[in-house]
Amino acid sequence: MKIYNKYIAAIVLSLVLASCKAPMATVIKDEVKTNIPQNFNQEDQQDANNNSGTTPWRQFFTDPNLVSLIETALKNNQELLITLQEIEIAKSGVLAKKGKLSPTVSAGIGAGLKKAGRYTSEGAGDATTEIEPGREMPDPLGNFEGGLMANWEIDIWKKLRTEKESAVAHYLSTVEGKNFVLSNLIEEVADNYYELLALDNQLEIIQQYIKLQQKALEISKIQKEAAAATELAVKKFEAELAKSKAAEYTIRQQITEKENQINALLGRYPQPIVRTKENFMSTIPPTVYTGIPSQLLANRPDIKQAELELKASKLDVEAARKEFYPSLEISATLGLEAFKPSYLVKMPESIAYNLVGELAGPLINKSAIKANFQTADAKQIQALYEYDKTILNAYLDVANLMSKIKNIDQYYQLKSQETKALDQSIDIANQLFRNSRADYLEVLLNQRDALDAKMELIEAKQKQLSTVVDIYKSLGGGWK
């Protein structure tokens, strides 16, 4: 007995020593997170208490038509619905890992028939055995059984708990992924809505320009009859009018496509988009407060998602490392067993049970386990780089957009001045043309310049509003 115990102790010791050779995970310092700047711009010292990214989207957007579109998108958008199913999948993964911590118990019944060879130890033993006095063992021998079976892996190294923690971290990352989809969806609906309003205003401008061209054409025809202008002037105005009408249909097509693009985001078939275009050019973008860069770590869902994926990958490495350790499994069965169904009720003779404990660990040919560990370790490093890239891109997004807001505001002011000056020049050129003191080319060039300036002014207003939406999303706004 002492020798037997020594053998068991030697086996256990060898398993433990083998597990001590488990490799260590790679450790890389996260310098991107550590060295994040104090401010987005050294010239701009923002108050940490003022951060537009924490403003709920219903307070940030004041246009009731836009709010209604966003609400519809949040209910019907297919990409968002797909993301919600990813959350359910991740939740099931947590339940699966949690289930491994508890014993598995199953019930079963079975029946069989067996005949052993007469000249075998089993056959010879059955032939000389009497079940009851005067009754020999049946040949062939039936077997009927039923009972409970249990199996349980004892989590002595907390490997299963680590796997469950990894599954929880992955589940939480999918929740943050859903929040990021929400933020992107709201940004996309708002950007397309402002682009649609810009197209509406451009259509109105081109229609006004067409009326202006029609009047200029009529004047050129009158002047031709009076020998104050030539056929060339008439043809030039006719060509300009045709060009403007063609541009009108181009804008109408863009409006249709933009409406359908918004409808696709809303998860519905094509239908008119309710909107009010009259106040577009007078809309004043809300003031955006950026707070400090470190707040991005808590506000942006994509950063939190990357952080949770990094945590899950580290836990995966830890679980893969524990595969080198020996595992302890306990299995047990309890039930009734007999070679004849009527004997199953004879107890305690028909009662059968079994209890086995097994401690096993890898000793040689651990290449598969090593490969799994190396894969998990590489994924951990990859997740860290992905996390750092997300932080860096988020910082650059905000810095670029803050600069863009300032520059687009200046651009818009100058374009407004240009538009006013060209409107005045059109009136002057038309007056001079009527009095035969200006050439038709001067009129055409002034009208074209004015049209281009007004179109660019509308685009500037659209960019002004869209940039504010983009920086709101970049600060982590939109999902709350």
- Domain boundaries along the sequence of the chain: 1-475
At residue 268, the 3 state secondary structure works out as coil
- Global confidence as pTM: 0.85
Cα torsion angle, 155, 156, 161, 166, sign = negative
Predicted pLDDT of residue 168: 96
- Domain covering 1-475 in this structure, CATH number: 1.20.1600.10
d(CA 8, CA 120): 33
Structure tokens at 260: 């359908």
Helices 231-265 and 159-225 cross at an angle (nearest 10°) of 160
Residue 204 · residue 277 · CB < 8 Å: yes
pLDDT of res. 4: 47
In tens digits, the chain (480 residues) has pLDDT values of 455 455 455 455 554 555 557 888 888 888 888 889 988 876 666 667 789 999 999 999 999 999 999 999 999 999 999 999 999 999 999 999 999 899 999 999 988 888 888 788 777 777 777 777 777 777 787 888 989 999 999 998 999 999 999 999 999 999 999 999 999 999 999 999 999 999 999 999 999 999 888 988 887 888 788 776 778 878 888 998 999 999 999 999 999 999 999 999 999 999 999 999 999 999 999 889 998 999 999 999 999 999 999 999 999 999 999 999 988 899 999 999 888 888 888 888 889 999 998 888 887 778 899 999 999 999 999 999 999 999 999 999 999 999 999 999 999 999 999 999 988 887 777 777 666 666 666 777 778 888 899 999 999 999 999 999 999 999 998 887
Helix H or strand E segment including 322: none
Cβ neighbours of residue 447 under 8 Å, at least 6 residues apart?
Answer: 209, 212, 213, 216, 240, 426, 429
3-state helix, strand, coil split of the chain in percent (to 5) is: 65, 10, 25
d(CA 149, CA 152): 10
What's the pLDDT score for residue 448? 84
Angle 367-434/159-225 helices, nearest 10 degrees? 20
The pair phi, psi for residue 228, each rounded to 5°, is: -95, -10
Three-state SS for 136? strand
Task: Identify which of 176, 182, 226 has the alpha carbon closest to the alpha carbon of residue 75.
Answer: 182
Q: Give the H/E segment covering residue 329.
A: strand 327-338
Tokens of 47: 């108050």
Three-state DSSP state, 202: helix
Please give the pLDDT value at position 312. Answer: 96
Q: What is the maximal distance between C-alpha atoms in the chain? A: 141
